[in-house]
Structure 1
Amino acid sequence: MFKRKLLALDYPQPETFNTEDENYFRNFIVWLEDQKIRHYKIEERTGLRNMPSSDWTKHFQKYLEDLGCPYQQSQRSLLIDWILGYSVRLEYGDNVDQYKTVTPEKVTQSKAPPGVSSNPLDNLDFDDPDFKAGIQSLSMILKVPPYQDHLEQLKAICLVVKDRLSKEALEKAEKYKEDNIEHLELEKTSLGFDTGDYIINEAAKILRLIHIRDLRDLQNQINQAIVAVQALIANPKTDSRLGKVGRM
């Protein structure tokens, strides 16, 4: 499932890549750090390079924290997918000119064969292991609860992105920030009761926060209506038909 990224990094013999063999895995991590990531200075890589050591996992944990990896060592598949993606981004940054050889004119001239869509989304394999791993990574980043059907989970991710990361949502969030509205974090939200199921607890917290947000929106609308009515009452106008000053 990692073959494409391994090929992009010129990893030796990607066909025999083995995530279960501990010694192989440690060699793989050291290879990435030495050849692609280079986050540490050479003298700082001693702990990672001492692969037979019983303290290797401690050094590796610190390495993951220094890289900002969101996954734990127990989540090996997700961890490998993340660190490979991180390495590919660095590889692109180091060789940006090499990847800019395709000009807009060449893209315009290259047409898809008859019967084949030019839209890359139409050619995606939604059952590809890399695609599924990508959905899992996005779910972890956006804190979307896991679901057995990866396509349904992708729909949930789309809803979260639309609700939180759209232009309107970002502008609304910025307005809340400017108005000094308290930001409520999911981790710090108290549900008030325990269902006994972590996923249900998290979903209930989300519903509670949405309810609080809706109440705030309603309160803002009420406040705006009160201000508008007060402004109207404070500015009486003459009603010539009644021959007196009236309230409009």
Structure 2
Amino acid sequence: MFRRKLTALDYHAHDNFNVDDDRQFRSLIVWLEDQKIRHYKIEDRENLRNITSPDWPSYFQQYNKDLVAPDFKKREEQLDWLLSFAVRLDYADNAEKYKDQTSESVKKNLSNAPKVVSENPLDNLDFEADEFKKGVNTLAQLLNVTQHPDHLITLSAISKVVTQRLSAEALENPKSVIIQGTPFPVQEADLGFDTGDYVLNQAAKVLRLLHIHELRDLQTKINECIVSVQSTTANPKTDTRLGKVGF
């Protein structure tokens, strides 16, 4: 959560900083004071620099008071405020450097950066190319998927069919994915309200059925979580050797 601000401040360990590590946290505070904030005189920073001292938390608390920082209860909140404060000071010290920075200049700098070549072939696909659209429509015809005007929505429907019906588990046990029983008479179902348009009424019925299906799937997952928790908490293991009889 601090990476962007640490990067902006050119902190050397912005990628692997761990706020829960006392040594890393204290070292960062000292670095901020020495390099960016500079609230104390150099000779007054000794207590803060002594990061192994058992009294360091009290020194840090006094440091926050001297900076008139809000009284935060969590370390993460304290650090976030200090980083924001340091960024403001750094900008004030280098206003001439940053005042000409625009979105165009940033994009230009990024364009000059070395390009990372991805090994994933999907990253190189042009999803708006006519050839890609033709391939999606052809695949939809092979899988009997109704085509949508937006080929990406059609591709999403194809993805659902492939993951649900053509997975390794589904191919080994086709009966687990093939719907059994009598089809639901959606045409005869009661919607509960009338839109005044027959086509809209039928579409609303379909949407209601899809919503019910999602709710059932959610309830199934909730039940699975409950069963999993109960299997852990409802069967505690006891050590009978610790039991005593009498007094």
Give me the TM-score of the superposition, normalised by structure 1. 0.40
Give me the TM-score of the superposition, normalised by structure 2. 0.41
Greater relative contact order (Cα < 8 A, sep 6+):
1
Compare CA radii of gyration and give the structure with the larger one: 2
